[in-house]
Amino acid sequence: MGLPYTVLIPARLASTRLPDKPLADIAGRPMIVRVAERARRSGARRVVVAADSPAIVEACANHGIEAVLTRADHPSGSDRLAEACQAIGLAEAELVVNVQGDEPLIEPALIDRVAEVLQAQASAAMSTAAHPIGDPQDLRNPNVVKVVTDAANRALYFSRAPIPWWRDGFAGGQVQALPSPPPLRHIGIYAYRVGFLLRFPTLAPAPIEQLESLEQLRALWHGHAIAVHVADEAPASGVDTPEDLARVRALVASDPTLLQA
């Protein structure tokens, strides 16, 4: 892409469902290191872990991964990223991509696409990704976040509810099929212009953000455009629970090339 970008990976040691999650071993290396190694295979000029614990910084250093120590009391990942931007001296015009620290199988190409979409849409303050929903039950699942876009693939709204509502198809109460084109499932990866990311934590939380418990709605509420890259298919799922970790370990054990690009 024309404009180099930086990948920032927020990492918190505390996790309710999986304690010390960033340090969990995957094929001999901590998960946070595996995530950073995948991100290094993208077009990013720099990959930096924004950690809340010296233990994470030390684990990264042991494997040649750049990391910065941030405050432990940040209320959200975006606050942590804003501090990291200042710590490593990024200019306001630069782009950063927020890769979650529990995505050891993330596709490097997806990271590039999200950055490219933001670069291409000068009016957007941030970008994210989505993919077509294939299972009708996912449309009803509140844990599956949906996004509706406009003709230019800018986000109109994110919701845990089934959007857009298919009036005729859902009339009977049972979702047996999906409309065409299918609704979009949001993928939790974001790119930001640094200047916006630094201001984002100062924006007042939005009522719709608090109702849906979706932080990206704050940007829309305050009038900031979000560009959306629509991927052809769902990315590999992340690690939230011990069961997820066991699944990823089993996948990698059966096919070590999964950790490669």
**Domains of the chain, earliest start first:** 5-128+186-259 (3.90.550.10)
Distance CA 31, CA 253 (A): 14
For residue 181, the one-letter residue type is P
- pLDDT score, position 145: 97
In the predicted model, is pLDDT for residue 136 greater than 90?
Answer: no
Residues 16-67 pLDDT 10s: 789 899 999 999 999 999 999 999 999 999 999 999 999 999 999 999 999 9
Give residue for tokens 């845990």. Answer: 160
Confidence of residue 75 (pLDDT cuts 50, 70, 90): confident
Band of residue 14 on the pLDDT scale cut at 50, 70, 90: confident
pLDDT at 33: 97
d(CA 231, CA 129): 7
> Looking at the predicted structure, is the pLDDT value of residue 229 above 60?
yes
Q: What percent of the chain has pLDDT over 70?
A: 96
pLDDT grade, residue 3 (50/70/90)?
low
DSSP code, position 59: H
Average pLDDT, stretch 141-158? 96
> What value, to the nearest 5°, has the Cα angle with vertex 239 and ends 236 and 240?
130
Mean pLDDT of 153-170: 91
**Six token digits for residue 123:** 């009016």
Q: Is 145 left (phi over 0), alpha (psi -120 to 50) or beta?
A: beta
- Cβ proximity of 128 and 189 under 8 Å: yes
**Whole-prediction pTM:** 0.93
What tokens does 153 get?
């693939």
pLDDT band at 178 (very low <50, low <70, confident <90, very high): confident
Give kind and range of the element (H or E) at residue 33. Answer: helix 31-40
Whose CA is closest to 84, among 96, 68, 100?
A: 68
153-171 exposure pattern, b = at least 16 Cβ within 10 A, e = fewer: bbbebbbbebbeebeeebe
**Residue 77 confidence (pLDDT):** 80
User: Cα(24)–Cα(30) distance, rounded to whole angstroms?
Assistant: 5
| Token representation of residue 1 | 């892409």
Tokens of 17: 């469902």
Is residue 74's pLDDT more than 90? Answer: no
How high is the pLDDT of residue 2? Answer: 53
- The rounded mean pLDDT for the chain is 92
